[in-house]
Amino acid sequence: MKKYRVTVVGATGAVGLEMIKMLESRKFPVKSIKFLASKRSEGKKLIYKNKDLPVELLTKNNTKNTDIALFSAGVEVSKEFAPIFVDNGSFVIDNSSAWRMDKNIPLIVPEVNPHDLKKDKKLIANPNCSTIQMVIALKPLHDFAKVKRVIVSTYQAVSGAGQKGIDELKDQVKIWRNIEDKKRLEINPNKKFYYPIAFNLIPQIDIFTENGYTKEEMKMTNETKKIMGDSSIEVSATCVRVPVFRSHSESIWIETEKHISSEQAKELLSKASGIELLDRPEKLKYPMPLFAENTQVTYVGRIRSDISTKNYALTFWVVSDNLLKGAALNAVQIAETLIKNKLI
């Protein structure tokens, strides 16, 4: 089997570390691997296949001799360096939002639209984490009954805000445990979350736009249309940050053009790639972030017909590890698909 020269950009971040784990655990055909990051991480050591490998500074001199570059270093870094890697002959799979809505850049979830990958499209966007798990569940239902409308509420883990989000929740939980004066959990504009996140819900992820939706909510709307290849699908999202360390949950309502029963939906989802159906309410079996952590599938459960409308509508619950299928795993699967389809 042919092997490939791989570079991980943003290797020391939460998603970068998971990318490295996914490359190793999925036995990706790596010929050589290089870890790049910012100045503050230069010289650190990361483990790959029981070997300590140094983290190098991301510079233009480090953009050559790479077949596949996995990026998780933020919008500005991607805008500056991704085109340089591409010019040097590399495929780039970028986890930031920099390129997602560019009409010339494929936005890929391998279980949904692998056909959008092309040999001459070397820059590839990895979708938003909450969008990925939703479209995986929508795909088999859309193919059967054509989804017309989606209303989704997300319950997103703090790891979606990076390591600072994780640390903030940990610190605030310690405060709650060790002191009686809860006033220390006050509004702090210098923190990752403006309001305390411990034992709280924050109905805002990213900044608000002119229409009253946040950027995160509009990502779900716009990215869904692009990935599904159907601009007629209407999507309205409400995105909420919750005090969970890892794995996003979503409550999804769909209206379809054709009737689809809950039993038909369960059958379709049980056979769909990347999905594990967990829907046995009589046994109290349903998806939860606690059990989705560190797993490589998207869980779907609580599937039921909507009793509030005479239209064809279903509602269901979706949970997936946001650092894996929502980011690192999906990126590695895109690289695997490039190889499988002989595009690289």
| Residues belonging to the active site | 129, 248
Residues 298, 130: Cα–Cα separation, whole Å: 11
Residues 79, 57: Cα–Cα separation, whole Å: 17
Residues 132, 110: Cα–Cα separation, whole Å: 10
Residues 332, 280: Cα–Cα separation, whole Å: 31
Q: What amino acid occupies position 267?
A: E
The DSSP result for 40-83, as a single string, is GGTT-EEEETTEEEEEEE--GGGSSS-SEEEE-S-HHHHHHHHH
Backbone φ, ψ for residue 199 (5° rounding)? 60, 35
| Residue among 145, 110, 134 nearest 236 (CA) | 134
Structure tokens belonging to residue 71: 């990026």
Residues 221, 226: Cα–Cα separation, whole Å: 9
Other Cβ atoms within 10 Å of 56 Cβ, number: 18
Structure tokens belonging to residue 262: 């809950």
Q: Which stretch of DSSP H or E encloses residue 298?
A: strand 298-305
Residues 238, 98: Cα–Cα separation, whole Å: 22
Which is it for the CA torsion 150, 151, 156, 162, positive or negative? positive
- With a CB cutoff of 8 Å and minimum separation 6, the contacts of 183 are none
Bin 77: left if φ > 0, else alpha if -120 < ψ < 50, else beta.
alpha
Radius of gyration of the chain (CA): 20
